[in-house]
Amino acid sequence: MPPSVGKNWHHNLCVDFLDKFLFLQSTFLQSRSPPDSLSLLSDRCASEPKLAPDKTKMSEVELEVLDLKQMVLASNSFGPSDVAEIRQAITENYGHFGELRDAVNEMEQDDALTPAGKTKMGVCQFMLGRFKDASETLSAADGSAMALFYNARCQFELSNFDGAIEGYEQAKTSGYNEDQCKIGIAEAKRYQGKIEEAMAILDDIFGPAEQTADYMYQRAATAAQIGGRMEEAINLYQRAVSTDENHAGALFGLALENDRLGNDDEALRLYERAAKAFPTGIGALINLGVMYEDNGQYDKAQLCYKRILDCHPDHPRTQLYMKDASATGNMLYDEEAQRRNDRLAQTLNMPVANFELSVRSRNCLQKMGIETIGDLTRHSEQELLSSKNFGETSLVEIREMLSQKGLSLGQFAGEKKSNDPPVDTSHMSPDEQALLERPIADLNLSVRARKCMTRLQINSIGELIRKTGDDMLECKNFGVTSLNEVREKLGDLGLKMRGD
């Protein structure tokens, strides 16, 4: 590959960074006329006939009403089509990411999870980018072809390429799609530096598999690494994104080549489109973040790096980039405060059914509509005792359970579940949707304002913008000064409260 042409050392390091992906997914390239060989290939791609729409994809309405958490937790069978549906749902609406994360949290609390259930949980952990956890889960699963295949993918992401190849061979023997396994083996060989072996494996794949985006992407990446075959590689990247509009590997390859040729505007657009996919590649997010920094958009750069650190908190290069972006621009988050907030939110969302309670206590809570730990903290002891058949023994039992979590009854008393209307995110980019998922601690509010957020059980920025100014002013010790502070912080991010 030709040397990178970044504008500074930071950028040069970035574009040469391993183009490894958490998953192969992306969106379609918007046409433009870049210079050199890229322009010819773009024109050629634009002239090809369009593919018929995929009737298996969910409509926008279906995606809007989809309860992803319920779909994942359902006891029905789980296969490749379900994985594809989850990926599509989160790609189209990043808000579903939180539902997948919550579903995995619940499965991890289930001590009675079956071996087949562990396969489902392991695949979902893989999609969250938690490769080590996923590998451990899948190793203890049902030994199915799907478990073996995704464990092989985990080994690849953990840079255990020999283990990945062995895993793909086992998955193939157990009945997983042979061509997909061979493509995975070729990719692992390529990362081992065995380029000729990788190409030989791809040369041995025939039939419909040759027309898949995965195959064309792997062949393009391998051809690019051989050297002297850039036009062939770009052509294959173009064909891949024409075949699958959600293929991040090919889109990232095109972005990287534009980056190296100095086509900054085109590279930026391509990286942005790659970042819309889920799960998004590390390389795409790092390169996009660096380009945002070059443009002085430090807040957007931090969001890119934060998405990586959510899955890889110890990623050294991303930590360095985050520190640089935070030091140069406005600090968007307090790391320790975020961890505390995330832990609290996770605890409050835990179902009461996951805890060992007496039948009497469980029945009383069910009658009162108390489903989560958060629901319990919003009820006082008097409210529980007023329930029929709920006495002091049950009260002590509940107190002890909450005490183990550092919580107490009535801690958030009077703050019932929100009935605020949902936020329309259809016009938002994935980065903007991801911003709504960020904890409220990211706003760095004053102590008084933070206490109000806690009392109102506002854990995320998305929950905050569902509130009106009047809603906030009803909170004790929250006045006009605090309200103006909140509005200013939201304004810095291009957001407003409901009704503003």
- Residue 432, H or E segment: helix 430-437
Mean pLDDT of 393-403: 87
312 occurs within a structural domain: no
CA geometry: angle at 183 spanning 182 and 189, to 5°?
Answer: 85
Tell me, yes or no, whether 118 and 193 share the same domain.
Answer: yes
483/473 Cα distance (integer angstroms): 7
In the prediction, which pLDDT does 59 show?
46
**Stronger pLDDT, 393 or 13, i.e. the higher one:** 393
| Domain C-terminal end among 375, 390, 417 | 417
241/430 Cα distance (integer angstroms): 19
- Residue 152, H or E segment: helix 145-157
153 occurs within a structural domain: yes
Other Cβ atoms less than 10 A from the Cβ of 470: the count is 11
Tell me, yes or no, whether 120 and 31 share the same domain.
Answer: yes
DSSP class of residue 443?
G
201 occurs within a structural domain: yes
Do residues 352 and 376 touch, judged by C-beta distance below 8 A?
A: yes
Tell me, yes or no, whether 394 and 453 share the same domain.
Answer: no
488 occurs within a structural domain: yes
Helix axes 178-191, 213-226, angle to 10 degrees: 20
Amino acid in position 231: E
**Stronger pLDDT, 371 or 50, i.e. the higher one:** 371
* 253: containing domain: 22-259
What CATH number should be reported for the domain holding residue 360? 1.10.150.20
Q: Which of 185, 180, 178, 177 minimizes the C-alpha distance to 156? A: 185
Amino acid in position 119: T
Tell me, yes or no, whether 107 and 170 share the same domain.
Answer: yes
Tell me, yes or no, whether 173 and 72 share the same domain.
Answer: yes
| Domain C-terminal end among 259, 275, 295 | 259
Q: Which residues have C-beta within 8 Å of that of residue 362, sequence separation ≥ 6?
A: 352, 353
What CATH number should be reported for the domain holding residue 93? 1.25.40.10
Do residues 7 and 294 touch, judged by C-beta distance below 8 A?
A: yes
Tokens 């793909």 belong to residue? 168
Half-sphere exposure in the Cβ direction for 239 (13 Å, CA): 18
Q: Which of 310, 254, 425 minimizes the C-alpha distance to 302? A: 310
Q: Kindly list the distances between the CA atom of residue 356 and the CA atoms of 60, 97, 324, 352, 493, in Å, as whole numbers in the listed order.
A: 40, 29, 47, 9, 43
pLDDT greater than 50 at residue 274: yes
Mean pLDDT of 441-458: 80
pLDDT greater than 70 at residue 176: yes
270 occurs within a structural domain: no
> Mean pLDDT for the chain?
79
Tell me, yes or no, whether 158 and 101 share the same domain.
Answer: yes
Tell me, yes or no, whether 392 and 457 share the same domain.
Answer: no
256/243 Cα distance (integer angstroms): 20
- Residue 283, H or E segment: helix 282-294
Tell me, yes or no, whether 121 and 246 share the same domain.
Answer: yes
| Domain C-terminal end among 417, 442, 470 | 417
Total domain count for the chain? 3
Q: What is the band of 495 on the pLDDT scale with cuts at 50, 70, 90? A: confident
pLDDT greater than 70 at residue 55: no
11/286 Cα distance (integer angstroms): 10
Peptide linkage before 430 cis (omega within 30 of 0):
no
204/183 Cα distance (integer angstroms): 10
The pTM assigned to this predicted structure is 0.58
pLDDT greater than 50 at residue 294: yes
Burial category of 309 from C-beta neighbours within 10 Å (exposed 0-12, middle 13-18, buried 19 and up): middle
Tell me, yes or no, whether 200 and 237 share the same domain.
Answer: yes
Tell me, yes or no, whether 477 and 444 share the same domain.
Answer: yes
Tell me, yes or no, whether 356 and 212 share the same domain.
Answer: no
309/286 Cα distance (integer angstroms): 11
Q: Which of 333, 314, 278 minimizes the C-alpha distance to 489? A: 333
Tell me, yes or no, whether 38 and 158 share the same domain.
Answer: yes
Q: Which of 277, 287, 228, 211 minimizes the C-alpha distance to 248? A: 277
Cα dihedral 169, 171, 173, 174, rounded to 10, equals: 170
Q: What is the band of 44 on the pLDDT scale with cuts at 50, 70, 90? A: very low
